Amino acid sequence: MATVDEGITTDSGIEISPVYRAGDLGLPDPDPGAFPYTRGIYPTMYRGRRWTMRQYAGFSSVEESNARYRHLLERGTTGLSVAFDLPTQLGLDSDDERAWGEVGRVGVPISTVDDMRRLFDGIDQRAVTTSMTINAPAAILLLMYQLVAEERGIDAAKLGGTIQNDILKEYAARGTYIFPPRPSMRLVTDTFAYCARNLPVWNTISVSGYHMREAGCSAAQEIAFTIANGLAYVEAASAAGLAIDEVAPRMSFFFSAHSNLFEETAKFRAARRLWARLVRERYQPSDSRSEMMRFHTQTGGVTLTAQQPLNNVVRVAYQALSAVLGGTQSLHTNSYDEALGLPTQDAATLALRTQQILAEETGIADTADPLAGSYFVERLTDEVEARALNWLQQVESRGGAVSAIENGFVQNAIAENAFRRQIERERGDEIIVGVNRYVEDDDVEVPVQRIDDEAVRGQIERVRCAKSAQDRVVVDTALARVTAAAHATDNLLPTMREALRTGATLGQIGTALRSVFGEYRAAST
């Protein structure tokens, strides 16, 4: 895999320039790496460094998930992406009666520091960047990861990776929240401050449009609602005493790539430009990195079909193509069998190979922003940005992202668009190959990943044993400090870290926070 800027030619002997400038076509537009970053945040983009190839994985047990990570690393993935099961996402231990039936089903169960230790057994945390899709209890999982690294003699200040930590989109679209919005925002900003002092190269939030797109919003809404949330986090950080240049350079974003190749490419270009302009106008940062939108992309899970599942291989390839044409910094390609179950090992490997073929065989990584200057793409970029700005203004007219979520505006906008799209599919106005057009009676059967129930039972028993072995006086004292910090205004992460060091579990810390913050219940409609 090329990692340096070398001379590149096509098979016809045509030399490819690292950058094709708009001036060559008489179109005034800055180079890649220059404000407002429409064409990418780095001057030569993938000529100097490829995007990070991540494959989202986690299931059954820490041992099986660890084996999948090792398999992917051996086959060339360049970053890990951890999927947690629903109990973990909701701050519940595996042995909690509320977790029954969900342990290990859609991700890996993590209740203790020892679980995290086993998950990364034999994996050098210095050599990989790790993305963790975790939100409400994100701070606790990050602290576990830090503790495991420090046990191994790794300087936490050098740990690289990302926690999603984007609680606002949970209320808008996904639903794995625990606490009400305001204390949840406090946890986010406490994490910003803690990481600024202790994990300075860690990305403290991945502001996610992906899940809102999965719930049904449009490409323009995806940009608008994601940027609105990003601005809300900046404002919350400012209220907590953090300057823009302490927060924004460690923010990343997360978008979906759907099947309209040109609109998706334009969406990524427009998102970068809109974010850069808004940050510069509103906050006047000194550090140019504060204006740069760095983002991860995942191909559209909701676009995958259970009918004719091999068609998903093609969908994912085109969606990945749009992400790379749009300048993503990292990418997850979905496996073709995900409409049927968790990815099998073979399907996950093929999804990784899709990225590797894009990087090494197609030539799209040879020059920055290869579609720049296209009349169609440039016009689409302008149109998507304008529509996104309109939606953003509607959010801000309602008091900003937090208020717009609390009063249901964002949720209703997403639901209305989802309903419209579904009607179009049912009418056949939007064609889904194999579903409402080119349907076949005899469908291909593909293997489905099975959850190891014995491994799940072992996980539950291990958590029970860990709790039995706790020094109750020490653990209860540490948990009382967490509760006291939650009542006060202290940064919560140092006390949660100490609780973990005593052997407290994810669920026990979550219970301590619930006792102060309460639990959020969405208003019934």
The answer to whether position 414 is within a domain reads yes
What was the pLDDT predicted at 114? 98
Q: What is the pTM of this model?
A: 0.92
Of 472, 482, 513, whose CA–CA distance to 183 is shortest?
513
- The model's confidence at residue 26, banded by pLDDT at 50, 70 and 90, is low
The more confidently predicted of residues 7 and 424 is 424
- What average pLDDT does the segment 476-491 reach? 97
Same domain, yes or no: 494 and 367: no
The answer to whether position 15 is within a domain reads no
What was the pLDDT predicted at 25? 55
Same domain, yes or no: 157 and 288: yes
Residues 6 or more apart whose CB falls under 8 angstroms from that of 203 comprise 161, 162, 163, 250, 251, 252, 294
Cα 382 to chain centroid, rounded: 26
The answer to whether position 227 is within a domain reads yes
- What average pLDDT does the segment 327-355 reach? 95
Can you tell me the distance from the alpha carbon of 60 to that of 455, in angstroms, rounded to the nearest whole number? Answer: 6
- The model's confidence at residue 450, banded by pLDDT at 50, 70 and 90, is confident
Same domain, yes or no: 368 and 495: no
The more confidently predicted of residues 145 and 9 is 145
Indicate whether 14 pLDDT > 70. Answer: no
* Residue where one domain finishes, among candidates 407, 427, 447: 427
Cis preceding-peptide flag for 285 (omega within 30 of 0) = no
What was the pLDDT predicted at 1? 42
The answer to whether position 441 is within a domain reads no
Indicate whether 356 pLDDT > 60. Answer: yes
Same domain, yes or no: 157 and 252: yes
Indicate whether 10 pLDDT > 70. Answer: no
What was the pLDDT predicted at 144? 98
The answer to whether position 243 is within a domain reads yes
The answer to whether position 505 is within a domain reads yes
- The model's confidence at residue 30, banded by pLDDT at 50, 70 and 90, is confident
Distances (CA, A) of 144 to 384, 447, 498, 501: 40, 34, 11, 9
Query: Mean of the per-residue pLDDT values for the chain?
Result: 93
Indicate whether 2 pLDDT > 50. Answer: no
Indicate whether 299 pLDDT > 70. Answer: yes
Indicate whether 491 pLDDT > 70. Answer: yes
Please report how many Cα atoms fall inside a 13 Å half-sphere around the Cα of residue 281, on the Cβ side. Answer: 8
Q: Range of 492's domain? A: 473-517
Poorest-confidence range of 14-18, 208-212, 285-289, 425-429? Answer: 14-18
Over the stretch 251-289, which tens digit does the pLDDT of each residue have? 999 999 999 999 999 999 999 999 999 999 999 999 999
Same domain, yes or no: 159 and 230: yes
Total tally of structural domains belonging to the chain = 2
The answer to whether position 239 is within a domain reads yes
Indicate whether 373 pLDDT > 90. Answer: no
Locate 329 and state its tokens.
Answer: 């910094």
Same domain, yes or no: 241 and 333: yes
Indicate whether 410 pLDDT > 60. Answer: yes
Same domain, yes or no: 201 and 300: yes
Distances (CA, A) of 431 to 363, 415, 416, 425: 30, 20, 20, 6
Can you tell me the distance from the alpha carbon of 162 to that of 136, in angstroms, rounded to the nearest whole number? Answer: 15
Same domain, yes or no: 497 and 421: no
Cα 123 to chain centroid, rounded: 21
Can you tell me the distance from the alpha carbon of 226 to that of 276, in angstroms, rounded to the nearest whole number? Answer: 14
* Residue where one domain finishes, among candidates 403, 427, 451: 427
Same domain, yes or no: 297 and 409: yes
Same domain, yes or no: 415 and 483: no
- The model's confidence at residue 379, banded by pLDDT at 50, 70 and 90, is confident
What was the pLDDT predicted at 60? 87
Same domain, yes or no: 171 and 307: yes
- What average pLDDT does the segment 327-345 reach? 95
What was the pLDDT predicted at 13? 64
Q: What is the CATH number of the domain that holds 288?
A: 3.20.20.240
Residues 357, 242 contacting (CB under 8 angstroms): no
Over the stretch 83-110, which tens digit does the pLDDT of each residue have? 999 999 999 999 999 999 999 999 999 9
What was the pLDDT predicted at 7? 72
- The model's confidence at residue 376, banded by pLDDT at 50, 70 and 90, is confident
* Residue where one domain finishes, among candidates 427, 458, 487: 427
Same domain, yes or no: 47 and 150: yes
- What average pLDDT does the segment 18-32 reach? 66
What was the pLDDT predicted at 45? 95
The answer to whether position 14 is within a domain reads no
